[in-house]
């Protein structure tokens, strides 16, 4: 447990302290040795108001020291980078801002290990000797390499700007922490929720072109492949456009996208029911200008809200988790660990909910795309017809009321800022186009019980919560490993083949849910909500034969 016995500390009292953080036996490429720190590391000005940046002994290192005072012991925090990325610049800048807001007393060390496993081993050894208090693993590559060395160190690690750890097999589920020295956050929005939004935008969607760098394994496994599977299940044709050479992404996109468009026209001649989807591959989304040029009138959407920005070089719409939002969660986790409020192993996967939505109406107007009012209402970031920011982080940037192409009458007030919260596990939502009935009055002291008769297993779920001082019924339960297990067991017993009982939602389980819903005369959405659980419970009662789970 971290000692939080405080004493007044100011960096000005430590000016004589010199801390040199060096890789032992680090051999630098000549090109990198001659490079400058700014070629791979850029901190935003807002963050530098609170932190003083100093270069390291060579261009692969840097340190930051707070300009503020803090009434607690100074900690040593290490950020490890696998390579340069604008995403990482955004993430560390936001993390530094959160640390400053919380007055975390820490010296920050930043090291770029150039994705070399041998350097990770040396880094961990050095971090252990120098008693580093916390490591932020920047990006999925860093997380993977540190997990590979997990048996060799016990320093707490928080993932930042990294893909979903459950889908990558780094942690069992969203329901519990890792139980070791790793705490995870996720850059992903559940695929089914993203598909719900896509179908709200294009209800008759026929094609979706998925752009991904094949060497970005985490983007392939947690974004591209799951989206392709979800599209196929809904009779939407996925087109996987893979980039083979990151440094030639623009050339490959210019070659492959027109060929895919020709294929799309086979079932969508005028391309009005097709979309492009940019994954979180840096080599791909940094080529947004090329993508827009090759896309023609087909809308370009992104899993990364940061790809929607001012001007013309922007995606038209994004549904996902911004680097900034994810970094905020990671920094909150890091602060809790440093102050002894939690251990890394106790923290559940940090998921941003609801997702960040960003809209560029200038791009929408250019391609003739109408944006449903839902997106305008929920958007965290909005850019108007002139390409300038109208709403940033949920806050209006101008008092001028601009007319934008939404499929519902415009309102003159800006929607309230969507709150960012760390939730775990991830939660599915009912389709946004469905108007929900007023919540019924309920008793929060009585949990909802969901069971599996054959095994006598049961699960208590909080369906009734207090909101704005009044009890209301929730529509959706947390999608936990335990809940999915019971759903799979019940569906198998009812004759709807949910596949292997493993507590994971996959295409087989999703198909079984839809089949069950159809048999009940309900809309086959595949969504897990309390209505589905109640239907399963009633079906099991009617079955009156709690057989062993297959």
pLDDT digits 0-9 by tens, 499-538 = 889 888 777 888 899 899 989 888 887 888 888 998 998 8
CA atoms of 185 and 17, how far apart (whole Å): 34
- The pLDDT value recorded for residue 491 is 94
Tell me what pLDDT residue 367 has: 95
pLDDT digits (tens, 9 = 90+) for 28-57: 443 444 457 878 898 998 899 999 999 888
Q: How confident is the model at residue 24 (pLDDT cuts 50, 70, 90)?
A: very low
Q: In angstroms, rounded to a whole number, what is the distance separating the alpha carbons of residues 6 and 73?
A: 6
CATH of 448-543, one of 3.30.1330, 1.10.3210, 1.10.3470, 1.10.101: 1.10.101
Question: Is 110 strand, coil or helix?
Answer: strand
**What residues contact residue 131 under an 8 Å CB cut-off, 6+ apart?**
76
- Residues 357 and 315 sit within 8 Å (Cβ to Cβ): no
Which residue, among 53, 112, 106, has the nearest Cα to 84 in the 3D structure?
112
* Both structure tokens of 374: 């839902």
Structural class in CATH, domain 9-188+325-353:
alpha beta
- What is the arithmetic mean of pLDDT over 229-252? 94
Q: Where are the alpha helices (DSSP H) in 53-190?
A: 86-101, 117-129, 139-148
Q: According to the model, what pLDDT value does residue 12 have?
A: 36
Higher model confidence: residue 328 or residue 542?
328
- For CA atoms 481, 484, 490, 492, the dihedral sign is negative
Average pLDDT estimate for 416-430: 36
What pLDDT shows up at residue 18?
Answer: 29
According to the 3-state scheme, what is the secondary structure of 338-365?
Answer: HCCCCCHHHCCCEEEECCEEEEEHHHHH
pLDDT tens figures, 161-170: 999 999 999 9
The answer to whether the beta carbons of residues 148 and 117 sit under 8 Å apart is: yes
Q: What is the pLDDT of residue 529?
A: 86
> Is 138 in a helix, a strand, or coil?
strand
Q: List the single range of 45-49, 122-126, 267-271, 398-402 with lowest mean pLDDT.
A: 398-402
Give the least confident one: 22-31, 66-75, 177-186, 188-197: 22-31
Burial 299-308 (b: 16+ CB within 10 A, else e): bbbbbbbbbb
Q: Mean per-residue pLDDT for 145-163?
A: 94
pLDDT score at 427 = 41
pLDDT band at 467 (very low <50, low <70, confident <90, very high): low
- Which of 211-220, 347-356, 391-400, 447-456 comes out lowest in average pLDDT? 391-400
Work out the percent of the chain whose per-residue pLDDT is above 70: 83
pTM of this structure: 0.65
Q: Measured in Å, how far apart are the chain's first and last C-alpha atoms?
A: 45
Task: Note the pLDDT of residue 331.
Answer: 96
C-beta separation of 47 from 110 below 8 A: no
**423: helix, coil or strand?**
strand
User: What are the domain boundaries of the chain?
Assistant: 9-188+325-353, 191-320+354-418, 448-543
Question: Whose CA is closest to 139, among 219, 65, 194?
Answer: 219
Angle between helices 530-543 and 481-493 (to 10 degrees): 40
Q: Give the pLDDT confidence of 166-182 residue by residue, as tens digits.
A: 999 999 988 889 999 99
Mean pLDDT over residues 418-429, rounded? 37
Task: Read off the pLDDT of each residue in 81-94 and give the average, rounded to a whole number.
Answer: 92
Of 69-83, 210-224, 527-541, the one with minimum mean pLDDT is 527-541
Q: For all residues of the chain together, what is the average pLDDT?
A: 83
Whole-number pLDDT of residue 470: 62
DSSP labels, 471-495:
EEE-S-----HHHHHHHHHHHHHTT
User: Given this chain, do its domains 191-320+354-418 and 448-543 carry the same CATH topology?
Assistant: no
**pLDDT tens-digit map of 280-297:** 988 999 999 999 999 989
Q: Does domain 191-320+354-418 have CATH number 3.20.20.70?
A: no
Supply the pLDDT for residue 316.
Answer: 97
How many C-beta atoms surround the C-beta of residue 57 within 10 A?
11
- Round to whole Å and give the CA distance between 466 and 74: 40
Q: What share of the chain in percent tops pLDDT 90?
A: 56
Among 338, 347, 431, smallest CA distance to 106 is for 338
Residue 361 has pLDDT above 70, yes or no: yes
- Output the CA torsion 156→160→162→168 (10° steps): 20
Chain centroid to CA 350? 9
Nearest to 114 by CA among 168, 44, 59: 59
Q: What is the model's pLDDT at position 20?
A: 33
Residue 178: count other Cβ atoms within 10 Å of its Cβ: 22
How many Cα atoms sit within 13 Å of 446 on the Cβ side?
6
């Amino acid at each position: 447990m971290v000692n939080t016995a405080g004493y007044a500390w100011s960096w000005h009292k430590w000016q004589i302290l010199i801390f040199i953080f060096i890789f032992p036996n680090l051999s630098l490429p000549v090109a990198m040795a001659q490079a400058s720190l700014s070629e791979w590391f850029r901190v935003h000005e807002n963050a530098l108001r609170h932190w003083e940046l100093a270069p390291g002994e060579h261009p692969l290192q840097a340190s930051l020291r707070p300009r503020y005072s803090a009434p607690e012991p100074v900690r040593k925090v290490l950020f490890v980078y696998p390579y340069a990325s604008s995403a990482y610049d955004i993430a560390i800048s936001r993390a530094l801002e959160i640390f400053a807001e919380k007055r975390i007393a820490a010296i920050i060390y930043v090291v770029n290990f150039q994705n070399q496993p041998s350097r990770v081993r040396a880094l961990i050894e050095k971090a252990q000797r120098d008693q580093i208090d916390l490591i932020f693993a920047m990006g999925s590559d860093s997380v993977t390499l540190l997990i590979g060395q997990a048996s060799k160190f016990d320093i707490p690690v928080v993932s930042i700007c990294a893909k979903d750890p459950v889908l990558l097999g780094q942690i069992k589920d969203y329901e519990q922490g890792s139980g070791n020295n790793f705490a995870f956050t996720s850059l992903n929005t559940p695929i089914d929720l993203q598909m719900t939004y896509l179908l709200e935008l294009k209800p008759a969607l026929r094609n979706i072109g998925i752009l991904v760098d094949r060497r970005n394994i985490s983007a392939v496994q947690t974004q591209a492949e799951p989206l392709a599977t979800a599209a196929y299940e809904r009779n939407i044709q996925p087109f996987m456009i893979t980039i083979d050479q990151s440094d030639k992404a623009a050339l490959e996109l210019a070659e492959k996208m027109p060929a895919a468009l020709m294929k799309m026209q086979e079932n969508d001649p005028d391309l009005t029911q097709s979309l492009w989807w940019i994954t979180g591959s840096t080599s791909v989304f940094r080529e947004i200008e090329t993508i827009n040029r090759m896309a023609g009138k087909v809308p370009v959407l992104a899993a990364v809200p940061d790809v929607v920005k001012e001007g013309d070089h922007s995606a038209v719409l994004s549904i996902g988790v911004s680097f900034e939002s994810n970094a905020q969660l990671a920094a909150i986790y890091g602060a809790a660990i440093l102050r002894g409020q939690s251990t890394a192993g106790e923290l559940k996967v940090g998921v941003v909910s609801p997702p960040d939505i960003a809209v560029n109406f200038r791009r929408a107007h250019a391609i003739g795309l109408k944006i449903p009012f839902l997106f305008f209402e929920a958007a965290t970031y909005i850019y108007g017809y002139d390409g300038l920011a109208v709403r940033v982080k949920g806050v209006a940037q101008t008092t001028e009321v601009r007319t934008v192409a939404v499929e519902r009458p415009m309102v003159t007030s800006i929607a309230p800022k969507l709150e960012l919260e760390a939730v775990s596990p991830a939660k599915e939502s009912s389709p946004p186009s469905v108007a929900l009935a007023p919540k019924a009055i309920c008793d929060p002291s009585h949990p909802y019980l969901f069971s599996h008769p054959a095994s006598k297993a049961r699960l208590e779920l909080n369906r009734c919560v207090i909101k704005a001082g009044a009890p209301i019924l929730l529509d959706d339960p947390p999608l936990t490993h335990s809940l999915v297990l019971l759903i799979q067991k019940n569906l198998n017993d009812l004759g709807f083949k949910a596949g292997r009982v493993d507590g994971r939602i996959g295409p087989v389980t999703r198909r079984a849910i839809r089949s069950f819903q159809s048999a009940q005369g309900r809309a086959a959405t595949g969504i897990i909500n309390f209505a589905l659980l109640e239907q399963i419970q009633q079906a099991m009662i009617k079955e009156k034969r709690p057989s062993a789970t297959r």
